[in-house]
Each structure stands twice: as C-alpha cells, then as structure tokens.
Amino acid sequence: MSNNVTYENVNKIYGEGSKNPVHALKDVSFTINPGELFCLLGPSGCGKTTLLRSTAGLEEISSGKMYYGDVDISTIPPYKRNIGMVFQSFALYPHMSIFENVAYGLRVRKVPNDEVKKKVTQVMELVGLQEELKRNPSPTALSGGQQQRVAIARALVYDPDILLLDEPLANLDAKLRRYMRAEIRRIQKATNITTIFVTHDQEEAMAVGDRLAVLRKGIVEQIGTSDELYNEPKNAFVANFIGKMNFFESTVIDSSKDSIDVEIKGKGIRFAIPKAKCRTQAKKGDSVLIGGRPEQLIVSAAPLNKCIEGNVHIIQHLGSFIRYEVTIDSSISPVALEIDMDSLQKDIHEGDRVYVGFKEDKISLFSPEGREL
C-alpha cells in the first residue's frame, strides 16, 4: 500500500557559509497524497530538481523534515529509501541487455533468479515491452520511447515506495512526448505508487498530474489541480505560468464596496471586479493588473462597449480555435485572444484596426508583483 510524502519547512542552501550561497528551497511545506501523481512545475532554476534529488537523498537538505507516511526519511541514506528514479537521459546501461537493465535493482538486492525472471517479465508487460523482452537486445537498439519504457520498468521492478521522474519526456519528440505522458499516467495508476513528476512544461504537467505545485525561486507559490490553478490562480505569476494571461495596467478607484472599481491606465475604461475575483487587497490609488485569459476577451471589427483599439498583428488557425494577437501599444507585448472556429470573424484580417473587449464576469484582478516569469 502506498503512503503520503510530506515536506515540513524544507530548506536547501547550496554553498552554505560560502561567499555566494544559493537558497534553492525556502521553507517548502506540503503533502503528496498516497498514490498521487504529483507534478513539480516552474521555470528553470526554481528548485524542482533540488526538491526531487533531496527526496531521493542525493542532496542533503539544510533544514526541515521529509516523511514517507510516518517515517522521517530526511537523514536516511539514499540506498535505504526504496525510491525509484527515472532521469531525463534515461541513464540505461548500454553494455547490458534490456533484461539485465531492468533486473539491475533486483540483482543489487540479491533477489533469487526465478523471482528476478518473474518480476522483470511482469513489469515489462506493464510498460508494454513484452516483444522487446523476447528479442532482448541492447537498449541502444531501441527507439526513444522504448528506452523510456525500459527506464520506467527499471525504476518500478523492485516495488519502490516513491517514484521520482525528472523531466522524463524532455528527450522525446513532441508527438511521442504526448503519447508517453498518457502512458506514464496509465502505468502510474496501475501501480498506485506515490509519484513526483518534474517538468518545466505547464501543458505536460496539466495533462499528467493529479495535482501540481508551482515553484518560483525556491518557494511553492500554489498547489492545486490543473483546473484550480487555471481558474483560480493565486497571483500574477501562477496566472501567467499556467496558461496565458493578458494583463492590463490599471488603478484602483474605490475598494470600499464588495467589488473593487478599477480603471485601465490611459484608456478611461472602468470595471467593478467582485472581490471573489480579486487576488489582491488593493486600496484606492494602488497600481493593479486586470487579468483576462485569451478566451475571456472579445475581438471585433466594430467598436464595443468598454474596448481598447489595436492592430491585428497575427491570426493563427489552430484547428478547433483561432488565435489573434493584437498590438495595443508597441512597447508592450500583444494581447492574445482565442475564439472557437465556429465564431470566426471573417471580416478581420492581419493588419486591420480592431477593438478588444472584455467578458466582464470573467476577468480578475492581481497585484503587479510576479507578473514577469
């Protein structure tokens, strides 16, 4: 039966006491549920790999505790933690057959031969490699996707308590990556091993994870399901990291009611944003950001109530939907809008003057902090 993994005020400082210490994890505290597929997501350098390697015992944490169930694993040496790990590079042994690559963890544990054969066969079936096992070539004779399956089989064969996946799909092409992420989810659900999956690709994390943690500069910014993070991002950083968020610099006019009245700077357009949609406690006169996802904005060839004028920079037909990028002001990045193919506006072309409006009941309000990724 799998168990939960808990982090309690975990700190990691590289080069502690040196001239240039790096505080890679700052008071990280959260719990991963038993059998959960949990993604660690964030930009380069946010601390994802450090947290994963600390869980495996490959890095020593500077302070705090890590638990598997009730067991404090913080100071247990790596080889006693019973953790399976899959690396970006797969790290297969080219001089060994596939069978021996997968069997490696059992051989180290001195498992008898007939048990090794049984376990390897079982796990190879689970990852969909039974045919390759019959041929049993060297792993270098396999495709990227097959090598990935061998790496997963090797990590699962000795029934680890926790499975750690460090950017496991980074070396695969885009199509295979999408296929293998579904495979990883299928295999993880079949084994029910508590799993941590590190990626910097938000689409991958949203597709794979039961829940996600978004990290920035060693801090956990928010934890939730894909839907929670997309629909209720806690701040501008998460809003812009999980999906796309357009921001409009605004000023608070009044915050005394149950909505915050704001005006877009230089445009004279006002909105009353219900406090339930405000991720900031802004007061009158404060600078804030109105946030609108691409599907929460409207584009029109004719003026709209409360709209901003701009020029269509680019129109992209992306299958079931169309993406417009509209330049409002050349000094800031274009506003992105997405509409269903069914609502295609045939009278709008690249270079045209257009009007961008807002779905007022959808937009939200943020503090400017963390806007830049």
Ligand X SMILES: Nc1ncnc2c1ncn2[C@@H]1O[C@H](COP(=O)(O)OP(=O)(O)OP(=O)(O)O)[C@@H](O)[C@H]1O
- Binding residues for ligand X, per CB under 6 A? 14-15, 22, 24, 42, 44-50, 200
Strand pairing report for 364-366 and 22-32:
unpaired
Least distance between ligand X and beta carbon 111 (Å) = 33
- Looking at the Cβ atoms of 21 and 274, the one nearer to ligand X is 21
Report, in Å, the least distance between residue 51 CB and ligand X.
7
Q: Is the dihedral of CA 129, 131, 132, 136 positive or negative?
A: positive
Minimum Å gap between C-beta 46 and ligand X is 4
- Minimal CA–CA distance to 146: which of 98, 201, 97? 98
Q: How far is the CB of 226 from ligand X (least distance, A)?
A: 20
**Distance (Å, whole) CA 264 – CA 212:** 32
Nearer to ligand X, 361 or 372 (CB): 372
Spatial CA neighbour of 140 closest among 158, 163, 132, 180 = 132
Nearer to ligand X, 44 or 330 (CB): 44
Rounded least distance, CB 79 to ligand X, Å: 20
Closer to ligand X by Cβ: residue 47 or 292? 47
CB of 97: closest distance to ligand X in angstroms? 31
Q: How far is the CB of 91 from ligand X (least distance, A)?
A: 16
User: Which of 215/252 has CB closer to ligand X?
Assistant: 215
Residue number, 89 or 316, with CB nearest to ligand X = 89
Of the pair 178, 200, the CB lying nearest ligand X is at 200
Q: How far is the CB of 90 from ligand X (least distance, A)?
A: 16
Phi and psi dihedrals of 213, rounded to 5? -115, 130
Shortest CB 141 distance to ligand X, Å: 29
* Radius of gyration in angstroms for the set of CA atoms belonging to the chain, rounded to a whole number: 25
Nearer to ligand X, 41 or 290 (CB): 41
Q: Smallest distance from the beta carbon of 177 to ligand X, in angstroms?
A: 16
Of 24 and 92, the one with the shorter C-beta distance to ligand X is: 24
Question: 3-state secondary structure string, the chain?
Answer: CCCCEEEEEEEEEECCCCCCCEEEEEEEEEEECCCCEEEEECCCCCCHHHHHHHHHCCCCCCEEEEEECCEECCCCCHHHCCEEEECCCCCCCCCCCHHHHHHHHHHHCCCCHHHHHHHHHHHHHHCCCHHHHHHCCCHHHCCHHHHHHHHHHHHHCCCCCEEEEECCCCCCCHHHHHHHHHHHHHHHHHHCCEEEEEECCHHHHHHHCCEEEEEECCEEEEEECHHHHHHCCCCHHHHHHCCCCEEEEEEEEECCCCEEEEEECCCCCEEEEEHHHECCCCCCCCEEEEEECHHHEEEECCCCCCCEEEEEEEEEECCCEEEEEEECCCCCCCEEEEEEHHHCCCCCCCCCEEEEEECCCCCEEECCCCCCC
Q: Which is nearer to ligand X, 117 or 200 (CB)?
A: 200
